[in-house]
Amino acid sequence: MFFKHPVTSIDLSECYIKILSFSGWFQKKIKTIGQIKLPDNSIVEGRIENKKNVVLSLRKLAETMQIKKGKRSALGIPVGEADIKIITLKSKNKEDLNTEITERSEEIWGESLTTKAFSYHLLPLKDPKEKRQALLVTTPETLVEEKIALVKAAQFKVGLIDLNSFALYNMVDSNYSFSKGLNIILNIEYRSSQIVYVSEGDFSGEDKILFGEENYFKNVIEHLNIQHEKTKNIITSSLKYKNLLYTKYKEIIHSTHSLFLTQVSSKIEEYLASEKNIKKHTRVSDFYLTGDGCNHESYANTIQKKFESKIQIINPLKNYQAPKEQEKKIFTERNSFSIASGLASRGFYYIK
């Protein structure tokens, strides 16, 4: 499904709702961006625990952004909520491919397939001699229905539902270009981080770790006994300017990075040893860092020292035109809208 119509992308994360509103059919332009903090425990590990809070917050943000009721929207399913398989097919013509995919899917998921939302995508053939591969995706149908009901209750229409991991892939593919070998997109959010594997330019898997920017704040609060609302400004300032406060808690930051790196490394090692690693990669060639926490310089330094890979801190809105009156706001908040950007990138028409 290609999404070339004007669209509003909605990213429902655990702590924030983020909306990215566009105009234009082919060359999309940003109309406005906005985010609102959810009341505590509204969404926990991707599960919606308080529907009323989510609906009211989403409607409030839409009204603040002056988004009309009934706006067509794109919505994401969190990383970890889908079961993704990559299979190699024997068939060549379209009719036989469809039949084989149906049969193979029933073999994998059995009767449970009837209770799931199912989709597939044929991976492009880069060599005519290669066998065709397909990406199979299932997610609980109740989860999809719940997300649609929430967004409709907030008076949006739903035009597209995609996986957040696919949205991250589309975001990088639309604004940059993947290199040869194994690439990793690392989206560092507030309470968790998502890992997307890209093998020779093709989506190859996803992972999630329960470690995000919040870990910084908790460690600093615990060790330095400073107020939470002041923590972010202090950390950002210290990392940017390497001032005296940096030396006061740099050991805490380094220990936090060590915990982060241990979890990321463990997931990557699992991928390299798994069947998902079809191309038998032995190392990561490139990392693409994005998300709320990616601007901390020491994250990039820590990853580079460990993996000896090329690191890019990317701009999710790089190829979108922005209104002049919002340029400063968009530049400041751009890394928070990685998933929202990718949700709008389905069929994104652009000139490299």
Q: What is the mean pLDDT of residues 310-336?
A: 90
Percent of the chain with pLDDT over 90: 43
Give pLDDT, residue 54.
95
Q: Within 13 Å, how many C-alpha atoms sit on residue 141's CB side?
A: 7
CATH code at 177-313: 3.30.420.40
Distance CA 58, CA 151 (A): 8
Strands (E), the chain: 8-12, 16-23, 29-37, 43-44, 47-48, 71-77, 83-88, 116-122, 133-140, 156-163, 182-188, 193-199, 202-209, 286-290, 310-313
Give pLDDT, residue 350.
28
Of 27-31, 163-167, 327-331, 338-342, give the lowest mean pLDDT range.
Answer: 27-31
Residue bearing the bigger pLDDT, 236 or 298: 298
Question: What is the per-residue pLDDT across 310-322, written as a single tens digit (0 to 9) for each?
Answer: 999 999 999 888 8
Question: What is the per-residue pLDDT across 166-182, written as a single tens digit (0 to 9) for each?
Answer: 999 999 998 898 999 99
Q: What is the mean pLDDT of residues 195-223?
A: 86
Cα 351 from chain centre = 23
Percent of the chain with pLDDT over 70: 86
Name which CATH class applies to 1-81+142-176+316-352.
alpha beta
Non-local (6+) Cβ contacts of 227 within 8 A are 221
